[in-house]
Amino acid sequence: MNTQNKIAMTLRLPIHLADELTDVSDTLRMSKAAWIRRAIRRSLEHARVHELPLIEQRGVREALSL
């Protein structure tokens, strides 16, 4: 058993998103779980670099209204 991954999540995706996920992961020859982990890492990095600084600079209300 892989002890590295200690948290499991359930995603309730609309069918069209699940189909897109299957298409993309198959094209990239990745498992769906691997692709989702990669997408989450990218999104977190994007938020750290681009979105969080806006919130810190402008305040939460202004940044969220962009």
13: tokens are 């995706």
Residue 65 has pLDDT above 70, yes or no: no
Per residue in 12-41, pLDDT (tens digit) is 999 999 999 999 999 999 999 999 999 999
DSSP single-letter state for residue 2: -
Read off the pLDDT band of 3 (50, 70, 90). low
Length of the chain: 66
Residue 63 has pLDDT above 60, yes or no: no
